[in-house]
């Protein structure tokens, strides 16, 4: 809904004596709107940040080499395993690659308890090995895996790791609520491999994979025009393939300059610490300073699904204190940090009823608050402003990679996964509008599509690519 429509409803609702005015809406429009000029300046700063991460280790945006060489041919065949240690579930997949970009997946999820996420590290990996063993036993009983076969496996472990080869990664720090002792600072592939040996599980741990890199590779497997993989959900990240000649920090490895290397950008850290480029509001600053990692992940805190609902809650909290909204009601339920889910913004934007009845239910059901039409209209308009800013900032990150690769004229496809892209109304269209605002008409050369399953399919394909590379004797030490 446009701001003009929101203003007209505010004026039509004057009989409700609402203190919400068109000037108030304009104040927030000014705060959250990104002009094309500002977006282009963000893109330029982003490109320079990407280059710094490729030149030196230890940069804010680390540009981590994933040791995935080149692209899948689409003709990879065979059975491969993928094990994904996620924040909520452990997922085991048997992926059959059939060539021609075709595949089949058989999978099973094992719920992770909060206790398991805090237990001794070796016990967590024992659980992974046990679950994998049970999955393989079932697959052998069904005849989908031959007795005695030892399959290559990709291990999707989407936590910050320092990698110096494809099958090695030292955990820098746990995220997503994990706190298992004796894992940080250790090689997670070695810990898992030790558990596999203790439980006599016949697999070869071939590759340690980040889900964003997996999304890049899986999407290219099914759509060879894919050049960038992006995650836009609770968190945000991007991966792409860079010429080794453009990665000065890898020069001493002796890899030919024209070799393509997947790069896990970890771009959520853009503009952290110095805060020179992103147009942060006071609400963004509050979120940052009260987070468990102040001054870090600045880009992610402006875009990802974890934070959008909190931004709107902080605006509402301020307006409650000013006596502008919910006057005379108990609003204590809105005092809890992160109690306003980003899904509610999506719900409000989707509400097309004249009286905005869905918006009414969000507040009455979850917070026991009655709303006026003017308030509901204001919240819907504000949700759109916050959601649109998120999409346009995301398009800045994508545009920076396109510009860094110099592929605007030839165009490309970007595989995107995550709840914002998949479920937030209009998010995809706003990304495309942002790309056009940045690049002009040529922005239409860049298209997006839903990414394939990076943590399952992508991990298995990377295992297949790695096995093929090492069988051919190409940098078998990496």
d(CA 342, CA 319): 19
Question: Rounded to whole angstroms, how far apart are CA atoms 67 and 214?
Answer: 12
Q: Which one of the listed residues 13, 131, 158, 390 is annotated catalytic?
A: 158
- Greatest alpha-carbon span in the chain: 78
Out of 4, 173, 243, 361, pick the active-site residue.
173
Quote the CA–CA distance of 359 and 361 in Å, as a whole number: 5
Q: DSSP secondary-structure letter at 8?
A: H
CA distances from 107 to 113, 139, 145, 215 (A): 19, 10, 13, 17
Distances (CA, A) of 65 to 169, 201, 240, 246, 346: 12, 29, 10, 12, 35
- β 412-417/446-450 pair status: parallel
Tell me how many helices (H) and strands (E) the chain has: 15, 13
267 Cβ contact list (under 8 Å, min separation 6): 46, 61, 236, 237, 238, 299, 397
Distance between CA atoms of residues 95 and 78, nearest Å:
8
Q: How far apart are CA 39 and CA 166, in angstroms?
A: 35
Concatenate the DSSP letters of all residues of 85-110 into one string: E-SSEEEEEEEEEEETTEEEEEEEEE
Structural contact between residues 439 and 408, judged by C-beta atoms closer than 8 angstroms: yes
- What residue has token string 């399953």? 453
Read off the tokens for 375.
């308030």
Paired tokens of 457:
């399919």
Active site residue 158: yes
Residue pair 363/325 in contact by the 8 Å Cβ criterion: no
In the set 79, 211, 351, 453, the catalytic residue is 211
User: CA-to-CA distance for 1 and 310, rounded, in angstroms?
Assistant: 21
Question: Annotated catalytic, 304?
Answer: no
Distance CA(178)–CA(183), nearest Å, equals 10
Q: CA 82, CA 177: separation in Å to the nearest integer?
A: 22
Known catalytic residue: 195?
no
* 8 Å CB contact between 14 and 378: no
Helix (H) or strand (E) holding 52: helix 36-55
Q: Is 184 exposed, middle or buried (0-12, 13-18, 19+ CB in 10 A)?
A: middle
Q: Which residues are part of the catalytic machinery? A: 158, 173, 211
């Amino acid at each position: 809904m446009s701001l003009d429509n929101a203003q007209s409803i505010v004026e039509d609702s004057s009989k409700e004596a609402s203190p919400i005015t068109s000037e108030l809406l304009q104040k927030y429009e000014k705060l959250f709107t990104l002009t094309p000029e500002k977006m282009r300046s963000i893109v330029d700063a982003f490109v320079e940040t990407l280059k710094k991460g490729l030149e030196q280790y230890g940069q804010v945006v680390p540009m981590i080499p994933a040791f995935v060489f080149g692209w899948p041919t689409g003709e990879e065949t065979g059975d491969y395993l993928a094990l994904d240690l996620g924040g909520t579930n452990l997922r085991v997949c048997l992926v059959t690659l059939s060539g021609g970009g075709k595949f089949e997946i058989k999978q099973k999820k094992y719920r992770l308890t909060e206790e398991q996420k805090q237990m001794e590290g070796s016990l967590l990996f024992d659980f992974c090995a046990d679950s994998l063993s049970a999955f393989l036993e079932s697959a052998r009983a069904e005849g989908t895996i031959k007795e005695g076969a030892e399959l290559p496996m990709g291990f999707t472990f989407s936590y910050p790791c320092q990698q110096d080869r494809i099958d090695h990664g030292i955990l820098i720090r746990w995220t997503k609520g994990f706190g298992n002792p004796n894992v940080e600072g250790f090689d997670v592939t070695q810990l898992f491999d030790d558990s596999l040996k203790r439980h006599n599980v016949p697999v070869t741990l071939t590759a340690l994979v980040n889900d964003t890199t997996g999304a890049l590779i899986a999407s290219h497997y099914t759509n060879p025009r894919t050049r960038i993989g992006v995650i836009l959900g609770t968190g945000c990240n991007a991966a792409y393939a860079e010429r080794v000649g453009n990665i000065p920090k890898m020069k001493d490895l002796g890899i030919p300059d024209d070799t393509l290397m997947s790069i896990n950008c970890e771009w959520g850290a853009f503009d952290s610490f110095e805060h020179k480029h992103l147009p942060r509001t006071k609400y963004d600053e509050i979120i940052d300073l009260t987070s468990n990692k102040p001054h870090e992940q600045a880009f992610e805190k402006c875009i990802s699904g974890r934070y959008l609902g909190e931004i709107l809650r902080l605006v509402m909290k301020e307006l409650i204190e000013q006596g502008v909204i919910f006057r005379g009601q108990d609003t204590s339920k809105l005092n809890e940090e992160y109690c306003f889910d980003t899904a509610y913004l999506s719900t409000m934007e989707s509400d097309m009823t004249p009286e905005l009845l869905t918006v009414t239910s969000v507040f009455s059901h979850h917070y026991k608050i009655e709303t006026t039409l003017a308030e509901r209209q204001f919240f819907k308009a504000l949700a759109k402003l916050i959601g649109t800013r998120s999409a346009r900032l995301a398009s800045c990150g994508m545009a920076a990679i396109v510009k860094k690769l110099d592929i605007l004229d030839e165009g490309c496809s970007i595989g995107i996964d995550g709840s914002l892209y998949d479920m937030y109304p209009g998010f995809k269209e706003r990304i495309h509008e942002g790309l056009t605002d940045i690049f002009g008409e040529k922005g239409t050369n860049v298209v997006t599509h839903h990414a394939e399953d990076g943590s399952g399919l992508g991990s298995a394909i990377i295992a297949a690519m790695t096995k093929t590379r090492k069988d051919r004797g190409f940098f078998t030490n990496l």
